[in-house]
């Protein structure tokens, strides 16, 4: 602590944390024997808790990579190489209103934290191109379009009011 400020150190992703993130993202489609709604709710809740913990420990790259499979369509599902159909809604679109709000709010909070990083710290954590792309997405308002398309089927009027406020 210097001059009353707290300094945090941004750590890059570790093999263990990235493997854990991949494992959780692949589990979205790997649970069986449960009704589809319960299956995705349970998995999304686990991923949310993991991403929250990573965010709170300032492991932003891992937090972001943990939560992205839940909010995006067309991402690969783990190491199996299977891809989701891009025309399918993101897993979060099928979840309860409360879960959607929590997940989108955390995603937006993570993106905001990334945008507020010092340029050198952001480049070190994410790589130069990825960091610039993330900051551009936040500053240019592309996050709104991403949220509407991936989470709400392209219908702006369906976006939960709490998510609108966070955006």
Neighbours of 16 (CB within 10 A): 9
Provide the 3-class DSSP secondary structure of residue 80. helix
Q: Among 8-17, 44-53, 83-92, 130-139, which stretch is predicted with the lowest mean pLDDT?
A: 8-17
Q: What's the confidence (pLDDT) of residue 89?
A: 76
- DSSP secondary structure of 106-135: HHHHHHHHHHTS-HHHHHHHH-HHHHHHHH
Give the pLDDT confidence of 109-153 residue by residue, as tens digits. Answer: 999 999 999 999 999 999 999 999 999 999 998 888 888 888 888
At 74, the pLDDT band (50, 70, 90 cuts) reads: low
Of the candidates 96, 13, 28, 97, the residue with the CA atom closest to the CA atom of residue 68: 28
């Amino acid at each position: 602590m210097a001059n009353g400020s707290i300094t945090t150190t941004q750590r890059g992703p570790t093999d263990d944390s990235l493997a854990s993130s991949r494992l959780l993202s692949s589990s979205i489609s790997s649970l069986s024997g449960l009704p589809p709604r319960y299956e995705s709710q349970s998995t999304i809740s686990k991923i949310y808790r993991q991403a929250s913990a990573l965010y709170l420990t300032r492991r932003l790259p891992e937090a972001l990579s943990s939560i992205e499979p839940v909010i995006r369509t067309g991402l690969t599902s783990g190491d199996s190489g299977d891809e989701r159909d891009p025309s399918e809604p993101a897993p979060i679109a099928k979840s309860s209103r409360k879960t959607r709000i929590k997940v989108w709010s955390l995603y937006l909070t993570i993106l905001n934290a990334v945008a507020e990083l010092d340029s050198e710290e952001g480049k070190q954590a994410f790589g130069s191109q990825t960091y610039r792309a993330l900051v551009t997405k936040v500053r240019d308002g592309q996050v709104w379009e991403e949220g509407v398309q991936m989470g709400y089927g392209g219908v702006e009027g369906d976006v939960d009011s709490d998510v609108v406020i966070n955006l």
